[in-house]
Structure 1
Amino acid sequence: MSGDIYVKYNPKDAQVKTWSVHRTLEPLVTQVTTLISEQPSNKKKGRSKRAHLLVSSVIKATENFISKAIEIANENPDMKNDLFASMEDVKAAGDQMAVLSKDFADDPCSKGKRQQMIAAAKVLLTSVTHLLILADLVDVQLILKSIRLVEDDLQQIRDASNQEELIHYYKQYGKDIIDLSNHAHRRQYDLVDRLEQEKLAQARGTIKRTSVMLLTASKAYIRHPEITFARENRDYVYNQLRDAVNTISSITQGKPVPNAQNIKESMSAVGDLTRALNEFDKIVVMKPTKFNEQLIRPQLEERLESIISGAALLADSLSTRDDRRDRIVQECNAVRQALQELLDEYIQHSRKKSSDEDVNRKIQSMQNKTRDLRKQLRKAVIDHVSDTFLATNVPLLALIDAARRGNQALVEENARIFMEHASKLVEVANVACSMSDQAEGIKLVRLAALQIQNLSPQVVNAARVLAVRSTSKVAQENMEVFRDSWEKHVRLLTEAVDEITTIEDFLAVSETHILEDINRCIQAMVERDADRVDRTAGAIRGRSGRVIDVVTAEMEKYEPGEYTASVMDKVKTLRDQIMPSFADGIKQAIDALCMKPAREPDENDVIEASRLVYDGIRDVRNAVLMNPELEWPSDEEDGLGDEIYAPSQASSHGPSSDSVREDVEIYPGKNDNPSRDMMRRLPKEEREQIELQVEGFKKTKRDFDREVLKWDDKGNDIIVLAKKMCMIMMEMTDFTRGRGPLRTTMDVIHAAKMISECGTKLNKLAKDIAAQCAESQSKADLVAYVDRITLYCHQLDITSKVKADVQNISGELIVSGLDSATSLITAAKNLMNAVVLTVKASYIASTKYRNKSGNKEPIVQWKMRMPEKKPLVLVDRPNESTRIRKGAMRKRLEPMQVLSEFHN
């Protein structure tokens, strides 16, 4: 075994690298700086310490440092001489500081004595800092000893010639690597530099991830040394571990990690397209007086063409849908046109032919066009993500199956497919990064993609080893370990990509893709192509599973509540009811097509099952979009006009695709009724009036939340009905603003009917409570409020029906759009007020004025809702803004900064 490593302290390097040294040095720095400070004390009068007390505190702290250093020196003979030499310096500086500070305390107005004491304080702090850094080197020596042991273990494992030696050395390696990991873990959290912390964490993760692979790869090589692929597997794992250990060694000794800064910048850089669009949005905004056409126009046009070139590459990719490609082209042309109009407006302003308001209007139009282009580019990225991350383990399973059968030719073919798939994963991950501005998320994606890029060839090598020795147990174990590692990295990459893509874009694109797959599945059913039916049905199940996983992961980010409960209820329905029913229907259809002679499958059952899948996906998406922070898309964006083909059954032998399109049933429906998107097309003045009405409704909603949400709805049907009515009223109000799950006026009518039904139930409950209430003013109030609910439910029902009738007759919204919208909002606001008053009166009537003569059980239970759980420890989240009280903020004194501020 090699000798121990000893790191010599460099007196010129006085950099404090750990928080332990910071925290130990901080009290002394505070005491010394308080003693020598010329600024008045911030403490209240009468509470400031005397100079003599501060002097004694400094002397005592110095003595404590020396006594602790003596203990450390006695426990570590290797550094005893250096520690004792540093202690002598501290003691000399402390004695000098004690003498001069006492003189200053006796005569605090003497400027000369103050200057002498400041010089002595600088020498004392510098010597104490050196002593603490030397003490910190003791921990460094322990880590370096552990590193040397692990390096020796790795070399012995590499040189092992048989299985017995390998197992013996690996057991010793296991003990030493645990010791090193513990030391590195403590060091990681003690380091001041954030980049060093990240690199140390990455090295520890590599060691943990590849240690098992080291054993299996080494076993496979020792057992089959004639196979070069086994050597490549072993060398890959060995090099990974060696580099990780070297990283820990470099960071521990304070040496720079090679290319660490460049890696950090490249990994966490904002996406190219996003950065280019952000910069373009900034530079188009300028003072009109500073516009120089000869200089600025070529620059802006060149930047825009560079952005459009990047957008064109994304649009021309294979996974980008044709309609998405057309939309990107349209938006690029619109941005070009908007830029020319803005430049012309700048020129007109320079000629005094336009105002600042006209220029600002063109700037706003320019930024709106770039925003629309961003939206289409993001959806094009989701096209790629949705297709590529659909069945990530299928190529791997095919490769492993071929290897287990010992078919080397098939292994090579599947290896090519697997490597193409891995390259596609990395490519799509980088494409997703190009349209993201989340620096931390981008770094995770690129690190995961880099791991997959490095691991992919080794997975293929493990499969080749297994193909040559398909009956070898060590080859099978090696393959399983590489398979597990690959799948873990792919899951990590998938989660990281999901983090940097917005869920509303993902759900919109997934819904469109599922609709495409459903149409292909039905068309394949008509053409009696069992294989294509199976493939497309598998794609539908895979995309639905992805939607379920992504939405479930998204809901875990929220505090449990009504919103998350509603979303998860839709997810559960899709996962536990709709998808099993769809799978059974497809299985029956495929079995019927595969029978000899073929039996006619029930196409209507398949179509109905497909409709339920589409409805389930749309319901999940609508539930997710109920989050007020997310924007509802227009009907044109979310594919309201898309169709599920329901082919005619007139032809029993399978019509052509053209005949399929001639006889279709449109789903979810043509716009026989005006959709919510028409509400967005109202004139600006009318929309502003609607917003005024909505503001009044929001105020009522706040009163509702304050009064109703404080009660637990378990055992209280009044609160349950009130919450349900409130949710429906919010949806109806959102409809008037062109958003929300209600799409047509017929949906509004159905919502009004649901409110009426809830109002009837609430009416009955309230009257039952009133019947148990003693004669009082509270009972009279409750009866009056119940009558209001009946009245306003009837008014809301009539308002929604009149609105639909007028629109159906006229075909345009301009006749009564504003009046009907404001009437709807007013009726909803009045009803919500009545519900709030009814809840208050019901509580008083059922708890304060109950008729004591009867022994009836209370109709509802009034219990306060439990407050939401809060974490005991607040975790710092860099991407979230946190409100911090000023009183809670403490300024950390950086010791080296304080030293630099001293003056001789």
Structure 2
Amino acid sequence: MDRTIQELVSLLVNSTGSKELQDRHGTFSHHVHRLLALLNHPDPVHLSDSELSTHVEAVVFHCMLLAEMCRADLKQDLVKRCCVLLRLRKSICCHISQQEGWTMPSWGESSLQEKCHTMGKEVEDLDKAVLKATLHQILNTFSEAKEPLRQLVEEGGLLKKLQPLTATFFAHAQQMLRVADFVLARCTKTRTAREIHDSLEYLKSLLASLPPALTEMSRNPTHMSTAQQLQSLYHAWAGTTESLLQCFEETVSMHEFLKLSIQEMAKHKEWCDKALQSQDPKRLSKHATSLTSWARWVAEAAARYVDRTTDPIFRNGLLVWIEQLAKAILELKAAKALCTEQCSCLQTRDVFSRTMSCLMDTPRADLLSVADHLLVLTSDAVDSASQLFQSHQDKRHLHLDSIEGRVDSAALQAAIPPLYSPKTASETRSTFFASSPGKQEREDRERMQGGASRMSQMTKDMAVRMLHMTQFLRKKGPITSKEQLVACAKQIASDGQAFVTFGRIIAKMCLDKRCSAELLCATEQTHTISSQLTIVARVKAVTAESKSSSELLVSNAQNLIQAVLHLLKATEAACIKLVHFPFHIWRVAAPHWRPLFGNSPCQS
């Protein structure tokens, strides 16, 4: 395998003229894009010249350089895919050269399109394989990027340990720089590429300043200024590698990153299971460490992604998931330490296996499950709608004090000053509802009395009931009978009607006709689904128990939850254009105030 890689690289070096990756960022992505463009719209004129071969050779060259650094299975996968790509390139070129003598060009064009389609699919698969291999290199290199330098700084005064530690650190640093080159070749964002380039230049300057500092430290171990210089260098190195890792994560979509990460975690879990069966503590420790490293990286990447996302619903869902994953990682570490010491103990192996399964269930189920996280998702949406219900915006960024009621209040209270007392807010709400004429308005007022607190509590109750219904399908949770399931569904439907009332009130007060129409549409959709859930629950109550009918009931309840989320988002938009009442008390935000997140719903 290594000889094959060297042969391919040597052949491609002759045509590319250099073994190093080009300095311009996004070179690999550019060649892949151009190659797919040629194959998706095959034109014999363009395919016959050197353009096809140029892009194929550049892509294969990148893959071979990457394969040199990869573990055996990834290396073999890259080499096989590159060989297939080269064979398809040769087949297409031969096809075009022979096409001139054919008397049936239509048949020849059809055959060429099939070959180009096949090659295009191979290019897409190869691109995914390269992404997976690149993520592996990032994890293997940057997960412990600070450790070699930390050991070197701590042992800098001991001359006997200095040489091997220095060699280890510089070898690891060169590996980091090389991995960064591969990431740059994929990066198509100019700003991100510039940040990666600047970080790499700074790392190189830190590398150049390290030998003199270590030499001075070895000569005079008690010199405090040199020790402080080494500590400063270590912190600068750690901060720069952290920034690089964030830039790397921006080159790939979060969805693709999570998908590949979960696949790799599943693979390491399978290897851990095999090591458990064979009672091999060394292999078990190796793959369990890799599994933990992937999980930790996923949690850290998601935590960094939380800081960039502006969607409060998605943000709070990620926060819950990150917390669960971090807890599962700690449990797996403890189980791994116990199992490697007592690998022959059946009970210990069972504990480790259950802990590992729990870790895998977290990203697979909880990340994508709306029901399991509905408590956090919907309560945040309701609070946002309630804030906007009591707020108005103009060019001077005016706010009401209801902003203080978000789910993540600890962070927001530090950034957003209270505008007036809760008592005043309560009096304002009472005045507003008292001003709504008509019998229907009075009924709505009585139903909605209590404002944001009641709506928020209702949302939490819906979330808990939805979670219990979902657990019932898995034979878990507090619901144990059909009657309890039906009662839970009916209560969710009743709560859904409360949100319908909430939406109608806001729509009546909204000055923007388009926002009001969209909100009314969402409100009527919620009303329809809520009524449908009530009907399904009644039918379920009088029919025999069956799994399919329970699944139908839960599915309708989930549809209602999604409709409520949509209604709340429409409410947020409509609340911006509420009628301005004279009794509203406004206060201009402090000049230094800035929203905690990018696109705050309370910013005009």
Q: TM-score range by the shorter chain?
A: 0.5 to 0.7
Checking the alignment, whether the CA contact within 8 Å between 2:95 and 2:112 is kept in structure 1 is: no
Matching residue of 1:458: 209
Checking the alignment, whether the CA contact within 8 Å between 2:325 and 2:359 is kept in structure 1 is: yes
Matching residue of 2:28: 273
Deviation by residue 1:25-84 (Cα, 9 ceiling, x = unmatched): xxxxxxxxxxxxxxxxxxxxxxxxxxxxxxxxxxxxxxxxxxxxxxxxxxxxxxxxxxxx
Matching residue of 1:691: none
Checking the alignment, whether the CA contact within 8 Å between 1:725 and 1:755 is kept in structure 2 is: no
Distance 1:526 1:835, change over 3 A: closer
Matching residue of 1:499: 250
Whether 1:389 and 2:136 are equivalent positions in the alignment is no
State the distance in 2 between where 1:573 and 1:308 align.
41
Displacement after TM superposition at 1:505 (Å): 3.6
Query: What is the TM-score with the length of structure 1 in the denominator?
Result: 0.41
Matching residue of 2:359: 613
Larger Rg: 1
Displacement after TM superposition at 1:868 (Å): 9.7
Q: Which has the higher contact order (CA 8 A, sep 6+)?
A: 2
Matching residue of 1:421: 172
Per mean C-alpha deviation after superposition, the further-off stretch among 363-372 and 608-617 is 363-372
State the distance in 2 between where 1:621 and 1:783 align.
26
Matching residue of 1:79: none
Matching residue of 2:63: 311
Q: What are structure 2's unaligned runs of at least 5 residues?
A: 1-21, 373-450, 498-527, 577-588, 600-604
| Equivalent AA in structure 2 for residue 282 of structure 1 | A
Matching residue of 2:332: 582
Whether 1:378 and 2:131 are equivalent positions in the alignment is yes
Correspondence for 1:760 among 466, 487, 507: 487
Distance 1:726 1:341, change over 3 A: farther
Deviation by residue 1:336-360 (Cα, 9 ceiling, x = unmatched): 5378459848948984424988876
State the distance in 1 between where 2:154 and 2:26 align.
38
SS of corresponding position for 1:319: coil
Checking the alignment, whether the CA contact within 8 Å between 2:336 and 2:352 is kept in structure 1 is: yes
The within-5 A match list for 1:75-114 is none
Query: Identity of paired residues, percent?
Result: 11
Displacement after TM superposition at 1:390 (Å): 1.3
State the distance in 2 between where 1:621 and 1:579 align.
16
Whether 1:430 and 2:185 are equivalent positions in the alignment is no
Matching residue of 2:200: 449
Deviation by residue 1:221-252 (Cα, 9 ceiling, x = unmatched): xxxxxxxxxxxxxxxxxxxxxxxxxxxxxxxx
Query: What is the TM-score with the length of structure 2 in the denominator?
Result: 0.59
| Equivalent AA in structure 1 for residue 328 of structure 2 | I
Matching residue of 2:536: 789
The within-5 A match list for 1:801-820 is 801=548
Checking the alignment, whether the CA contact within 8 Å between 2:217 and 2:226 is kept in structure 1 is: yes
State the distance in 2 between where 1:403 and 1:489 align.
21
Displacement after TM superposition at 1:455 (Å): 1.3
Matching residue of 2:413: none
SS of corresponding position for 2:68: coil
| Equivalent AA in structure 2 for residue 585 of structure 1 | A
Displacement after TM superposition at 1:601 (Å): 7.6
Displacement after TM superposition at 1:429 (Å): 0.8
Matching residue of 1:81: none
Matching residue of 1:699: none
State the distance in 2 between where 1:802 and 1:334 align.
50
| Equivalent AA in structure 2 for residue 384 of structure 1 | Q
SS of corresponding position for 1:353: helix
Deviation by residue 1:565-623 (Cα, 9 ceiling, x = unmatched): 22221211121x32232233334445658xxxx99982221222222222234346546
Checking the alignment, whether the CA contact within 8 Å between 2:148 and 2:169 is kept in structure 1 is: yes
State the distance in 1 between where 2:127 and 2:491 align.
53
SS of corresponding position for 1:556: helix
Distance 1:308 1:866, change over 3 A: closer
The within-5 A match list for 1:80-479 is 269-284=24-39, 291-292=44-45, 296-297=48-49, 299-314=51-66, 316-323=67-74, 325-326=76-77, 329-330=80-81, 333=84, 336-337=87-88, 340=91, 344=95, 347=99, 351-354=104-107, 365-404=118-157, 406=158, 408-479=159-230
Distance 1:435 1:758, change over 3 A: farther
SS of corresponding position for 2:308: coil
SS of corresponding position for 1:396: helix
Distance 1:763 1:283, change over 3 A: closer
Displacement after TM superposition at 1:414 (Å): 0.5
Displacement after TM superposition at 1:539 (Å): 4.3
| Equivalent AA in structure 2 for residue 399 of structure 1 | L
State the distance in 1 between where 2:558 and 2:236 align.
58
| Equivalent AA in structure 1 for residue 225 of structure 2 | V
The within-5 A match list for 1:599-638 is 602-619=348-365, 622=368
| Equivalent AA in structure 2 for residue 301 of structure 1 | S
SS of corresponding position for 2:155: helix
Distance 1:385 1:754, change over 3 A: farther
Deviation by residue 1:834-866 (Cα, 9 ceiling, x = unmatched): 9979x99xxxxxxxxxxxxxxxxxxxxxxx769
Displacement after TM superposition at 1:376 (Å): 1.7
Aligned-residue CA RMSD (Å): 5.5
State the distance in 2 between where 1:417 and 1:390 align.
16
Distance 1:399 1:534, change over 3 A: farther
State the distance in 2 between where 1:359 and 1:748 align.
55
State the distance in 1 between where 2:233 and 2:37 align.
48
SS of corresponding position for 2:315: helix
Q: What are structure 1's unaligned runs of at least 5 residues?
A: 1-265, 627-710, 732-745, 771-780, 805-823, 841-863, 881-904
